[in-house]
Structure 1
């Protein structure tokens, strides 16, 4: 009885019981899933644009990345840069292949489009449990996380995916072997490249919060820079097709973001030292 009374008093002091938190979490999840479903339905209904222009865009030679490379080819007089042919065709070898890929691609588009709102819902659930100082330090988190997410997705879609598709479509063991890709393989590869890039671009945010929590420091990041390079290269090899070009392309911006994380960690440490000095006075 005494223990139950203590728990009730603790819950009253916190303002919300454990069941109240679960109920709140349920509504945050429902709103997030609803947002994803809304964008998913819109993408499903916009089949000609979403699938014909967006999903299949990197498989066509008139894609914006290929056109830009041809312009660079003319400017620098390097014909090899211009991609004028993608020697492959996309097929559906299963009866439900096209319909299932229509649903899958719509879900991926819905997830990407709804990401800012989904993260905002997650942040609304987490932020009340933070101290005022922690909440102020993380101000603008939704904007920066969303910005990095879309930057990574754009990098994966406009840079990584087209060059990977070009490499894989032109790679042949023998001229008699034709490249005929299944629609599930194509959509799966494209989705993996875009989403993996979007997630990898969150590295500065991860470094920011780990530094705020006191788990890492700028000195620690510098000491383990070589180890981080190896880890980044390994991760790049895991999330990209088995070609060196794609691995290097995804690894380069991640290494830049790692260096940016060191700068962020230094600034946080400087701010912490200034706050400690002001508190001493």
Structure 2
């Protein structure tokens, strides 16, 4: 970005990093962050309480679906029933807490944003929940059944008798659902970072190969150790990255257009 004049460049950069009231002291920043974290923990606790209260109907629904509806799950510990309830409650609490967490993050960085940046980034918050639910549905209806059936196929091929514990089953399920759902937040995170001028589409395109490698590693780490799950996660991740680059370009061009109106960039610098 070509800024017209050194003073203008310095002024624009500083205005993008601090509020009109000036840079808050470090301790004040930490105090504000602590307050936001406490708010999130309170909502998470309330979400867990609500999740526990509705865990049984959710459990009954999940047990009536493929691939577990034709199976009998077992308990191998006195704590397995409680553990199952807590796993379901935690997922419900995550869904409830996510948009509130996104809002608290926005509120924390709000002093460093201009008025129009505050309005534009605030619009991302509802989409955080939408993208999480899309990722949750994709993980539950696509990735999890294929991964589970693949592992059962291997066990059958080895002539192993199937005896599944309720904790093992739900740990396997949520070990797929939660990471994949969070990874679907990538486009929103990239758009938010672009709005904060931390990244831009040009930089994202330059680091595409590195990003693909990192996503392949993430896909292997967050999924069960079978290549079916890995492929089913890595391919959508690559697609999400390309969508993120495109959306980053949209945000970046709007930024450039706004700077052009203020006379801070040349016409040929707007992509």
Contact 1:89–1:179 (8 Å) recurs in 2: no
SS of match in other structure, 2:262: helix
**For this pair of structures, how many residues does the alignment match?**
244
Where does residue 38 of structure 1 map in the other structure? 46
Where does residue 196 of structure 1 map in the other structure? 179
Where does residue 245 of structure 2 map in the other structure? 262
4+ residue runs over 6 A deviation: 13-23
Deviation, 1:52, is: 1.8
Contact 1:58–1:161 (8 Å) recurs in 2: no
1:237-257 deviations in whole A, cap 9, x for unaligned? Answer: 111112222222212222221
**Structure 2-normalised TM-score?**
0.76
1:38-84 deviations in whole A, cap 9, x for unaligned? Answer: 332233233431212136744435xxxxxxxxxxxxxxxxxxxxxxx
**Structure 1 residues 57 and 117, CA, compared in 2 at 3 Å: closer, same or farther?**
farther
1:145 paired residue among 103, 121, 128: 128
Where does residue 59 of structure 2 map in the other structure? 51
**Structure 1-normalised TM-score?**
0.73
Where does residue 237 of structure 1 map in the other structure? 220
**Structure 1 residues 128 and 219, CA, compared in 2 at 3 Å: closer, same or farther?**
closer
Between 1 and 2, higher relative CO (CA 8 Å, sep ≥ 6) is seen in 2
Where does residue 172 of structure 1 map in the other structure? 155
SS of match in other structure, 2:164: strand
Where does residue 15 of structure 2 map in the other structure? none
Pair 1:248-2:247 in alignment: no
Where does residue 9 of structure 2 map in the other structure? none
Q: Point out the more displaced range, 211-220 or 178-187.
A: 211-220
1:74-133 deviations in whole A, cap 9, x for unaligned? Answer: xxxxxxxxxxxx6x6422111222122222321222222332233323433442453324
What is the aligned-residue RMSD (CA, Å)?
3.0
Write the distance in 2 (CA, Å) between the matches of 1:52 and 1:19. 48
